[in-house]
Structure 1
Amino acid sequence: MKIQTFLEQFYLHDSGIDNYQYFPIEQQLILTIELPEPENIIGYLYFFGVKNLISDPDINQIQWGEQCNGVILNIAVSPSLDSLNEQIEILLEVVDYPKKIKTVFVLNFLAFDIKWIPLK
């Protein structure tokens, strides 16, 4: 599904995020999220064909789990120079509870497909 079309159907702002996984060889980015009310559904958000992933600051420093989680502040989508991909920008606010630190991360990448898989 085109990412812009998906985002028109699903409201992801304020969704909780519990994990982030990036697989560069498979070109997949997987976010474990909980959709906000009224859905309150936990699931996996897969981005396919992920290229040129840039995180500012480096999101790999996060120790996801009970001590760190976050929320999606915004997702913006724009066309890329080629017609296959879309340019994605995701703003995440992550809280490190033991350190009492909130950090806003900006993820920028290209992707061509997205899939939502709810947990049952």
Structure 2
Amino acid sequence: MQIPTAVEALSALAHPSRLAVFRLLVRAGTDGMAAGDIAREVGALPNTLSTHLAILGNAGLVRSRREGRSVIYSADYDGMRDLLGFLVADCCAGRPEICGSLGDLASNAGCCS
């Protein structure tokens, strides 16, 4: 990942509503959620949510697909992994024991259990 791409992704997440939407979609898994359900869950107006989802999508953090009359959004796990990898690529000057295991961090946060 190049710095401009990382900056775009971090900028997209640097808004409370977009961060809430992204975290919700990460929890929703690969099935994703319909836009209306996301709006209800995070308390966003549909037009505002649409803007947030477009910003997250342009940053490579959210994907969408059409199912019938609904648009289903899901976290782009490849984009998330790329961003996280970029952030820790040069972790602690080549001394990974300082940073600890990112897998352990995810487990401790209740992820993937």
Give me the TM-score of the superposition, normalised by structure 1.
0.27
Which structure has more relative contact order (CA 8 Å, sep 6+)? It is 1
Structure in which a larger fraction of residues adopt helix: 2
Larger fraction in strand: 1
Larger radius of gyration: 2
> What TM-score do the two structures reach when normalised by structure 2?
0.28
